[in-house]
Structure 1
């Protein structure tokens, strides 16, 4: 399959993949166990961190960083060993996302979205589709992006008038994280009521993988948010992209209808809590990196305040070093404690998701046995984790300036990018609705009705 590296940005310059060429051979052997996979993610973060702030300012399309992820093997951490993957649980994949986000929030986000879209077929697909796409994505080390925003039916699917075995996607998507630098893109569209009146007024949705180099796919390269600037999350236009019915995930190519034993079960809705936990883990990685970066700056550069508030009545001399300042020590201690608690909650959610996928999967033939209650309880645990990490993260990434000083606001220091990255994505879906959702679960015992954001 042709690489999407042939697609050139019309707005931003592109980073050069050759700058990371040495890691193709250095990391040519996949890690053997969980501890080494975690170390590989930390190694990637160590490569990314030193120039993360400078790269963000340069704002180049991150083809080099995607190449680095490919060299690392992290793109196939979840893939079956029979196809050359790591066959690690989601709990390890989540930790890898978090670690990479410590080095660069944008690249951690790209890794997280890729893993979700690459795994989507295992949630939404039929057994034959799972075998086909999992093998292709894993064995060829493909990077997967997405043109998915089900909130808007802005990508319409019609029947191919000349070939009833195909459907055609037309329209656009406002957000397409990672798609412009991908090898495969997940298209999500709604069936046209005119072409498919039986689908109802809302139009059923279909997900399908398509090569990013398809001539009908073009990107605007117009991502210009305050944070996560290297995710290429701008818009895309889709024109007459033809897809075989056989590749409509979870649909019967003969009857042109959803497979009830695939899409009509609670398991198929796991896509949403799974990606919500992707978000939560890279939020956590960004927050941890912010506190670490601030601490390093405080040790090296922050000056103690030379005055005390009590005047002549004061019996204690000003601190000689910033690391002796009471309020600085108190702030770091508080944030560290809160991050430890947040991490424990996120890790608990990570394990819960892994346990679900281990117990209910296509290999065991038990996907249909997952109950709505089980799905709902895990979803509420993830919602709680997202609430806590969002609150702690926004507080920490803002407070780092209180403990570093005015000189730390210099552009070259780059402490502001942590807050900007976190603030940008925590608006993805209102956390207020997560609070209400968890509240109904606590007070009324209600699990949430699955939606595109729950």
Structure 2
């Protein structure tokens, strides 16, 4: 549970937006415009909030006021009913201003729709109604590099126990997605549980160089009981996995879906760095007076114009690739949501390789742009007060989530051997 003495931002600072955004968007463009409005608010003091490194309760309140937490949910419960392709664009827009909050939005959209991928039709409806009508924010204790949480069966309940080193957004969440292995089997179970209970104990140890407002520290799960009815994809009466839900390629879509979440907030952070740096260059950067071809303004410097142009070209191409992959994944969901067993492994593999391509490119371009902007802003731009460093720190931190070298190898096997990747916790 959250500790009272943990420094946290004050939700009251964004109270005005609850009334301002009382009417939720009703079109795709209106939803993206709302995401840009959120980014504008966050961008006003993003560098200061990053340095203060407080638990982001105010920022989560802002997301709730905006309606963006409901973006993908069914309209009948108050959601936006937008496809993932729009969700990815919204993540990107928010991440341009604040990578941490863009990441939290992305993880929430994944965890809040987990039932769509591994839940029964009844669980899908019940989960959406619970999350959307209460405007809940969802975190997740699902870090595959750690030992799995242990699950035991106790009558009508399953009981989770264990520890996770990373738990993004949990401290500020209303619900937490738990995942573990059922005792005596090799079967994994996902379930949502209320966060505010005695058995959820946060370490409050997220003090990393980047994405400082994501609350991605550790958590202990002690005897958290969840009804068998909430074990996603499992039959309550038989306590067995539903073959029509958890068989085949469809339930493995959870992994490429979140991999594309990652790439879109990388891309948003890089786009934000370019915009932030260009504004700084226009306002502050001085031309170099010792080059022999002296210019009046930094915006006349050949090397500065060349670098910005090159960064812009690569980011524009990356954005087009990300959008294409998002469209392809959205089409998979639209086509197979009501007929999951019809999804062929080859179709799943193809979309996974589109997403792997995006991961490679956003990692490479994002790191190059967020470090390279210092070359065109100048020495004074390294001041902590400026805050340009946070863009690189944010991308550098999360691109270590899983080695991009393995994505390159995977794509190489796809090109040379026409081999689709075996679904895994990272593919």
- For the aligned pair, the TM-score class normalised by the smaller chain equals over 0.9
Deviation at 1:9, TM superposition (A): 5.0
How far apart in 1 are the matches of 2:77 and 2:158?
Answer: 29
2:308 aligned partner? 332
Q: Which residue of 2 aligns with 1:228?
A: 211
Aligned equivalents of 1:141, 1:387: Cα separation in 2: 34
TM-score by length of 2: 0.98
Give distance in 2, aligned partners of 1:266 and 1:324. Answer: 54
SS in 1 for 2:96: helix
Counterpart of 1:251 in structure 2 is 234
Partners of 2:331 and 2:310 in 1: CA distance: 32
2:412 is matched with which residue? Answer: 439
Q: Does the Cα contact within 8 Å between 1:9 and 1:61 map onto a contact in 2?
A: no
CA distance in 1, matches of 2:240, 2:321: 40
2:3 corresponds in structure 1 to 8
Offset, 1:150: 2.5
Aligned to 2:147: 153
Match of 1:423 among 375, 396, 415: 396
* Other-structure match for 2:35: 41
Which whole-Å CA distance do the structure 2 matches of 1:51 and 1:132 have between them? 38
Aligned length: 427
SS at the partner of 1:146? strand
Shift of 1:153: 2.4
Contact 1:208/1:243 (CA < 8 Å) preserved in 2?
yes
CA–CA distance in structure 1, aligned partners of residues 267 and 63 of structure 2:
20
CA contact (8 A) 2:39 2:96 kept: yes
Residue in 2 that maps onto 1:125: 119
Residue of structure 1 in register with 2:329 after alignment? 353
Matched, 1:107 2:101: yes
- Give me the whole-angstrom Cα distance separating, in 2, the residues matched to 1:62 and 1:84: 25
- The secondary structure found in structure 2 opposite 1:189 is strand
Q: Does 1:166 align with 2:157?
A: yes
Do the aligned partners of 1:75 and 1:114 also contact (CA within 8 Å) in 2?
yes
Q: Note the alpha carbon deviations across 1:339-379, whole angstroms, 9 max, x for none.
A: 11101000000111111111111xxx311111111110000
Q: Structure 2 CA distance, aligned partners of 1:139 and 1:359?
A: 27
Q: Is the 8 A contact 2:353 2:411 kept in 1?
A: yes
Q: Which moved more, 1:420-429 or 1:365-374?
A: 365-374
Unaligned regions of 5+ residues in structure 2, if any? none
Q: Which residue pairs with 2:202 in the alignment?
A: 219
- 2: CA distance, partners of 1:60 / 1:71: 20
- Equivalent in 292, 295, 298 of residue 319 of structure 1: 295
Return the offset for 1:253: 1.9
Preserved contact between residue 150 and residue 188 of structure 1 (Cα < 8 Å):
no
1:239-274 Cα shifts (integer Å, max 9, x gaps): 111111111111122222211111112110000000
Kept after mapping to 1: 8 A contact 2:11/2:61: yes
Return closer, same or farther for 1:9/1:398 CA change in 2, 3 Å cut-off: farther
- Give the conservation status (yes or no) of the 8 Å contact 2:146–2:165: no
Distance across 2 between alignment mates of 1:80 and 1:446: 36
CA contact (8 A) 2:287 2:298 kept: yes
Once the two structures are TM-superposed, the CA of residue 8 in structure 1 deviates from its matched residue by 3.1
Q: Deviations over 1:414-450 (max 9, x none)?
A: 0100000000000000000000111111111111000
**1:402 counterpart SS class:** helix
**2:175 is equivalent to residue 184 of structure 1:** yes
TM-score by length of 1: 0.93
Runs of 4+ in 1 over 6 A off after TM superposition: none
Q: Distance in 1 between matches of 2:182 and 2:164?
A: 15
Which has the higher mean CA deviation after the structures are superposed, 394-403 or 238-247?
Answer: 238-247
Q: How far apart, CA to CA, are the structure 1 residues paired with 2:369 and 2:152? A: 48
Distance 2:342 2:313 in 1: 39
What root-mean-square deviation, in Å, do the aligned CA atoms of Structure 1 and Structure 2 show?
Answer: 1.1
Answer whether contact 2:235 2:241 (CA < 8 A) is retained: yes
Q: Deviations over 1:70-103 (max 9, x none)?
A: 0000000001000011101111111000000011
- The CA distance in 2 between the partners of 1:430 and 1:185, in whole Å, is 26
Other-structure match for 1:92: 86
Aligned 1:46-85 pairs, distance under 5 A: 46-85=40-79
Structure 2 SS opposite 1:116: helix
Show CA shifts across 1:274-330 (max 9, x none). Answer: 00000000000000000111101111111111112xxxxx6xx31111111111111
Query: CA offsets, 1:126-145, max 9 Å, x none?
Result: 11111111111111111000
SS at the partner of 2:279? Answer: helix
| Matched position secondary structure for 2:44 | helix
